[in-house]
A and B are shown apart, each in its own frame.
Chain A
Amino acid sequence: MTPPAVDWIDHPAAVALAGRHRVRAWEVIPWLLALGFYFAFPKYLGFGTELLITILFALSLDLVLGYAGIVTLGQAAFFGAGAYTVGMLAKRGIWNEPITGLILAAAVAAAIGLGSGLVLLRTGGLTLLMLTLCTMALLEEAANLAHDYTGGFDGLDSLPIAPLLGRFEFNPLYPTTQYLYVLAVLFVCFVFVRTLVYSPFGQSLTGIRENTLRMHAVGAPVRWRLVLAYALSAAIAGVAGGIWAQANAYVNLGTLGLDRAATVLIILVLGGYGRLYGAFVGAVAYMALAHFLSKIYPTAWQLGLGLLLVVIALFARNGILGLTEAAARWRRAPRAIS
């Protein structure tokens, strides 16, 4: 007796797997909202620009932490590297064209990510955590010491950034150009990350995160995949840093600090890591709360943030998006039984 022929192409699992990367209708919504924000709140565009940059930075961390599963406390090292690349080149009058400036920022950050990743990613666990932290602290100290080039503690201000495409000036007071420029860059980077995580390369990263030993066993070049993911994530963080320096026309040591690294980690976890839109949800929730609460009740803000982190770590490990997914499953569940 021959088993009945099964058409695997039409099998629900195969269809689900093949269709995983398809663009869903709701994926347009965040971008429409971002565009709508431009027209609806012209007074808050400075805040909006900062928000979009934070999303981009959180997205870079999502690639390395959420997908590749590398727990790093030093992501701000690459943000700072990008910011200082743009800042130093512009201040010295070597290069101030924005778009190529971003590419240079990405290249420098990626080089640092590749170099440090090659040596750091031999280790794991607490040692890796400490090494990423120390690398960032070392870069911060280096930037502090080399103040002839970096401006030291004061940083570099009033950077002369050339108009975008030779036409659109960056005006710090009316950041309309900045907002649209950052939105466009975020979109390009997002499409890149989205393509990447659904590619076989991205799948192998998820595999390494879930079971490193098994990925070794099936012959995946684990270490190279991790180093490459680390460098790519560094490049995106470098773009975020570079665009931050361009939009604000200054850089300071804060771009390299533990504060920034911890904040972006909190944002990503708040939104939900290992999910493409976690960076978006987390950044919006965090920045909105921080913007309106921290100025009025700074201490209560810190207390609330601490409480929130404790609650997330104990009860809601997948962040806001994880909660909504759980709610959706819970609503669907009774129907599945009946």
Chain B
Amino acid sequence: MLLGGVAAGMVLFIVSVGLSVTMGLMGFVNLAHGGFAMLGGYAIALAMRQWGLGFVPALGFGFVVIAVLSAVLERLLYSRLYRATELDQVLFSIGLVFMMIASVTVLVGPENQPLALPSYLRGQINLGITQYRTYSVFLIVVGILIIIGLWLTFERTRAGAQIRAAVDNRRMAESLGINIGRLFTVTFAFGSGMAALGGGLGAEFLGLDPQYALKYLVYFLIVVAVGGLGRVTGVFYAALLIGVLDFALKKYVPSGGTAFIYALTILLLLWRPQGLFGTKST
């Protein structure tokens, strides 16, 4: 029963982790993150339908396309606003979302895009104790692999150490000779690519239409705010928490579920403004 919620949490995590790192590392309020997830979902769905790409290659394709696109946007536009006020960043990224939604509506159409899963991911799987949906199990496995991969990257590699250093103290990291500009671009591209992956993986139960970019944005933001900025493991736990809670509440309390999540978020943020797993910012 719980597995559906855990699977939803995994998708939330995959989408939100990039947002958390962008906000924590660059201090940029990027409301266009859901837009990258939406565009990625479209790239994946279209690649599968038009070119007959398999599901897994299409996921890779979506990741690369969005990563490249976001790297270009980061170099050209985002980088100009790193020192701007939050308000400017919010406006800029809302404008970007509007443009993404409008472009997709014009180029592809406003209707929901179906994403056909390959046959080996459909149906049920025998887990020994119980039968379960193969796709949920697949999502959980993918999510766990990603968190392990990210954790290793963050904790055990040079790039990870650089990112952590820049999140904690940007000026000090810069003084030590870390190329912050390049680090930002690479991280931003990677985070947006992850969002694209999440957009494709979650399309099966979140749907995929132009409004996706705004519809789920509040959820992604809640996950990031609760998990703490720039904390990969924090985002993981927060995404699982929100995913499972949302799933369970929608099932057992169909009317009041969403309100409960908002209320919980408000209380959590008042109790710990830096997020459940974040450290106090300087």
Q: Which residues of A contact B (CB under 8 A)?
A: 65, 71, 73, 119-120, 122-123, 125-127, 129-131, 133-135, 137-138, 141-142, 145, 258, 262, 265-266, 269, 273, 299-300, 302-303, 305-314, 317
Contacts and interface: CB of A to CB of B under 8 A. Distances in A.
Interface string B242-274: 000000000000011011001101100110011
B91 A269 contact: yes
9 contacts: A71-B87, A119-B270, A123-B270, A125-B86, A126-B225, A299-B105, A305-B95, A306-B102, A309-B98
B94 A262 contact: yes
B265 A130 contact: yes
A134 B91 CA distance: 19
Given A306-B100, A306-B101, 11 more contacts: A71-B90, A129-B29, A142-B259, A145-B256, A262-B94, A266-B91, A299-B105, A302-B105, A303-B106, A306-B102, A307-B99
Interface in B78-129: 80-81, 84-92, 94-103, 105-106
A306 B98 contact: yes
Contacts of B48: none
B88 A300 contact: no
Contacts of A73: 90
Contacts of A300: 102
Closest 8 CB pairs of A and B: A309-B95, A306-B98, A306-B99, A313-B92, A303-B102, A141-B259, A310-B95, A302-B102
B38 interface: no
Contact of B270 (A71, A131, A308): A131
A310 B266 contact: no
A130 B267 CA distance: 12
B69 interface: no
B152 interface: no
A262 B93 CA distance: 12
Given A126-B29, A145-B255, A303 B98 contact: yes
Nearest to A73: B90
Contact of B229 (A126, A138, A303): A126
Q: Is the interface of A mostly helix, strand, loop or mixed?
A: helix
Q: Is the interface of B mostly helix, strand, loop or mixed?
A: helix
A131 B266 CA distance: 6
Given A71-B87, A130-B269, A145-B255, A313 B98 contact: no
Contact of A314 (B92, B229, B258, B265): B92
Contacts of A131: 266, 269-270
B196 interface: no
Contact of B101 (A126, A127, A302): A302
Contacts of B101: 302, 306
A302 B210 CA distance: 12
Contact of A130 (B81, B95, B222): B222
A145 B258 CA distance: 10
A134 B256 contact: no
Nearest to B23: A126
Interface in B138-161: none
B91 A141 contact: no
A125 B274 CA distance: 10
B108 to A, nearest CB: 12
B56 interface: no
Nearest to B264: A134
A313 B105 contact: no
A129 B91 CA distance: 13
B218 interface: yes
B94 A309 contact: yes
Interface string B216-252: 0010011001000100000000000000000000000
Contacts of A125: 86
B86 A134 contact: no
Contact of B91 (A130, A145, A309): A309
A313 B92 CA distance: 5
Contacts of B265: 130, 134
Contacts of B99: 302-303, 306-307, 310
A239 to B, nearest CB: 24
Contacts of B274: 127
Contacts of B262: 134-135, 137-138, 141
Contacts of B72: none
A138 B92 CA distance: 26
Nearest to A130: B225
B35 to A, nearest CB: 10
Contacts of A258: 214, 218
A264 to B, nearest CB: 13
Given A145-B255, A302-B101, A306-B96, A127 B91 contact: no
A111 B35 CA distance: 36
A299 B108 CA distance: 12
